[in-house]
A and B are shown apart, each in its own frame.
Chain A
Amino acid sequence: MIHIPASELPEYKKHGAEQEIQMLIEAGFIVVHHDLTASEKEAARALAEEISKSSVSKDKEPSHHYPEAEAIILMARADLEAVELLVDELAAREVAQRMGIAIVGFPGILIRACWQGLLTPGGVRDALQECQRQGTHYSTRFIQQIYEHLRRS
């Protein structure tokens, strides 16, 4: 089960994954949370500010980090029993790690899928290239290095 804050939805839309996300929501794999309390929203705003001020953040606009901040806040809900936070951006990862939250990036998920035989190294490369085409900041060198590493191992 994957839990996401509603504020993440426009981001998926920007990355062209709106249809796939909708299918996963309908299939019950993704739960969208529209129910953040006022205090959780306030905490998320403070976190977004913290992320924007991180030394590794190049985007100093707090509102751009709000979806990641809300996801971090959801991790604190014990009833969700969330295991790890899916996050790629360095600044948000740094803040989450400082809070003791277990994190994993999307490439890490794909690498695990490859180790489990669910994806081939070429499949991992294709998925990362698709993300790159749709606006995620994976460099061509990054994708190639992951592919080569998986192919050799």
Chain B
Amino acid sequence: MRKQYAPHEPEEAVLSVEDAFRDAELSAARWQGIVREQRMQQVLIELPEPMYLTLEELARRQNRTVPRIIEQVIAELLVTFVPSVGAAGG
């Protein structure tokens, strides 16, 4: 026979269906961001130490993350050097 357990807080309400799906969407976005940041860090770890520290300092001053700066730099490089990308983005 299956054992029955009593609720810990007998009266306490739990989340709604909408909350559950919102939780899942926000959590997925959160973890995607972390994975992306980890990948960036793996790339950046290959940079010589002073260059990485400079990027970190720049990010701190601009109140941004290093991955965000890298993304922007890469995007600008693409616009500069690949005209078709610039046209598509415009």
Taken together as a complex, chains A and B put the C-alpha atoms of A67 and B30 apart, in Å, by 25
B2 contacts across to A, CB distance below 8 A:
133
Q: Does B34 contact A (CB under 8 A)?
A: yes
Given A64-B8, A108-B20, A136-B7: A58 in contact with B27 (beta carbons within 8 A):
no
Q: Can you name the residue of chain A whose Cβ is closest to the Cβ of B15?
A: A105
Stretch at the interface among A20-28, A34-42, A69-77, A86-94: A86-94
Query: How many residues in A have their beta carbons less than 8 Å from beta carbons of B?
Result: 37
Shortest distance in angstroms between B9's beta carbon and chain A's nearest beta carbon?
Answer: 4
Q: Give me the interface of A with B, judged by CB distance under 8 Å.
A: 11, 14-16, 56-59, 64-65, 83-84, 88-91, 93, 102-105, 107-109, 111-112, 115, 133-138, 142, 145-146, 149
New contact pairs (6) apart from A16-B5, A59-B11, CB-CB < 8 Å: A89-B12, A90-B12, A108-B19, A133-B4, A133-B5, A145-B17
